[in-house]
Amino acid sequence: MESEKKIRIDVNATTSERGGLSGLIEGTLRKFRNVGFVLVLFPITLLYIICIGVSLTPGISLVQATLEWTNESHFMLKSLGLGLSLATAYLSYGLSLIFVVPLVNKLLPLKVKPMRESWFSLSVIPWYYHNALVYLVRYSFLDFITPSPLNKLFYQMMGMKIGKGSMINTSNISDPCMIEIGDYVTVGGSATLMAHYGQKGMLIIDKLVIKDKATIGLKASLFGDVVVGKGVLVKAHEAGMPKTRIPDAEPKPKKVA
């Protein structure tokens, strides 16, 4: 049944099999791909403005207060005050952003689900929005708090399941809501975790599961529809390709005295 469904997907289709308004929107998106693509994703810009604006507010308030406090002070004191307040404002922005973005993500009626569809499909839109919000934090602040409890907290608020005692030393993570990490897992620096992959004009989204006590080496890459077994070591720079199932590591024999 699944193979039949795969054959039926026409990545060049200019019409939709959906009915009603959703079918009209998807058909328009496929017929006028570039224009439709921009229009459907334009609200991401508005979400960025909201997230950035709200997160900047505490820092801007501090800068304005500092300018008022040092208004009649010496030039150097005013410069020092402005510099310190700007630095604090940036930190305030980043810390605010890691809470504001998950809240916006939670309020969106769009939920990412396992799927196999054309890139020009309404089913893909939740994936775009979810990752757009993740990347806003990643590329503006997340590296500064990686690894720490804060980066784990951010991913958990974005839907990632993270077990106790696990350490995530990378910000190269996409689709956190589709990733499950067990207890005492170590994800090495600059490793890439994503629960999707593109193939033959289609986007495939499926869960990425890393079981207890597994170790993901430096700059290793894991994709959607991958399961890493308990205690497994994925070596540095290795890749776990889609549909890979790595069995649990065999327990080491106990030494006999």
CA dist., res. 215 & res. 185, Å (int): 6
Domain boundaries, the chain: 2-31
What backbone phi and psi angles, to 5 degrees, belong to 174?
A: -120, 155
What backbone phi and psi angles, to 5 degrees, belong to 124?
A: -80, -25
Mean pLDDT of the chain: 89
Q: Tens of pLDDT along 130-184? A: 999 999 999 999 999 999 999 999 999 999 999 999 999 999 999 999 999 999 9
What pLDDT is attached to residue 7?
52
Mean pLDDT of 92-106: 97
**Global pTM?**
0.87
Helix, strand, coil proportions of the chain in percent (round to 5)?
45, 15, 35
Cβ contact 55:97 at 8 Å: yes
Mean pLDDT of 29-40: 77
Helices (H) and strands (E) in the chain, counts: 6, 15
* pLDDT band for position 122 (cuts 50, 70, 90): confident
What pLDDT is attached to residue 255?
62
Maximum average pLDDT range among 12-16, 37-41, 53-57: 53-57
CA dist., res. 206 & res. 197, Å (int): 9
More confidently predicted of 94 and 28: 94
Residue 228's SS3 state is: strand
CA dist., res. 115 & res. 121, Å (int): 11
What pLDDT is attached to residue 1?
37
